[in-house]
Amino acid sequence: GVAKVYIESNINAEHFLLTNPYYDSRLVGKFCEKRNPYLAFIAYRRGLCDDELFAVTNDNSLFKEQARYVVDRENADLWARVLDSKNPFRKLVVEQITSTALPQTKEPEKIAAAVKAFMVANQPEVLMDLLEKLVVDTSGTAFRRNKNLQNLLILTAIKSERERVMEYI
């Protein structure tokens, strides 16, 4: 009930949802969906309500938030769901993953989970784009100097874009 009052009055609703551990994420998220989809996303993210989170982010074009959620969770099933060819929003979410979520992360485990997911989904073009952003386009990051990512970029280029291999070497 208190969560609904914060949301209805729109007074520190986001802060309440982020800091209060005593509310039902599904119930509050459902309440927020029509009022403020972003607040519903926050509630669902806190409660790890994957199905509801995917529905609200897809319905309201919150693809950047969905991308960050998938990257943060490092869950193979979530990656498979996003990268599934039957997902009508796949391209939009992948664009946010490669352009925003992964380049902003500092944790190698999250990068490794993403690379593995793209490999399992057999999407070498997207993997190339991602690795290029991490290894070639960024400066001063640990990923730029990471030998494994550099080697993976070259190997992926050999498989999908042979004409670019020498450029990377």
Rounded Cα gap, residues 162 and 27, in angstroms: 52
Output 63-69 pairs: Cβ under 8 A, ≥24 positions apart.
63/89, 63/92, 63/93, 63/95, 63/96, 64/96, 64/100, 64/101, 65/38, 65/41, 66/93, 66/96, 67/93, 67/96, 67/97, 67/100, 67/101, 68/100, 68/101, 69/45
Residue that the structure tokens 């990377």 belong to: 168
Q: What does the pLDDT profile of the chain (169 residues) look like in tens digits?
A: 777 777 888 888 999 899 999 999 999 999 999 899 999 999 999 999 999 999 999 999 999 999 999 999 999 999 999 999 999 999 999 999 988 888 888 888 888 888 889 888 888 888 888 877 777 766 556 666 667 777 777 777 777 777 777 776 7
Rounded Cα gap, residues 154 and 167, in angstroms: 9
Model pLDDT, residue 63 = 97
- Under a CB-based contact definition with an 8 Å cutoff, are residues 28 and 4 in contact? yes
Give 4's contacts (C-beta < 8 A, 6+ positions apart): 28, 31
Rounded Cα gap, residues 153 and 35, in angstroms: 44
